[in-house]
Amino acid sequence: MSDPLASHATRRIVLAPPPSNPRLQASVLSVECAADEEVEWQWTETAEGRFVSGYRLVPRLPQPRP
């Protein structure tokens, strides 16, 4: 049986970028993702500005070694 706290330790919280206009309300405020994942934000654009309306988790690409 795996330890649920051990898997939680490798996760991180990523805050969504703020809207371009403070009067707009974002649909997503933050996302919890694994250490090997990145967040791709989905934006909605209106006449008043743009805001985050969704997200997609994608695998993190390996970093090249120097």
In a domain, 64, yes or no: no
Q: Is residue 65 part of a domain?
A: no
Residue 6, pLDDT score: 53
State the total domains in the chain: 1
Structural domain harbouring 30:
4-59
- Provide the token pair at 58: 């994608």
Q: What is the pLDDT of residue 26?
A: 86
pLDDT of 4 reads: 54
State the alpha helices, DSSP H only, in 1-66.
4-9
Q: What is the mean pLDDT of each run of 10 residues along the chain (66 residues)?
A: 56 95 92 95 96 95 76
Q: Are 52 and 22 in contact (CB under 8 A)?
A: no
Structure tokens at 20: 């371009």
Burial (CB count within 10 angstroms: exposed 0-12, middle 13-18, buried 19+), residue 55 = middle
pTM for the full predicted model: 0.73
pLDDT value, residue 17:
96
Backbone angles phi, psi at 58, to 5 degrees: -130, 155
Would you say residue 66 lies in a domain? Answer: no
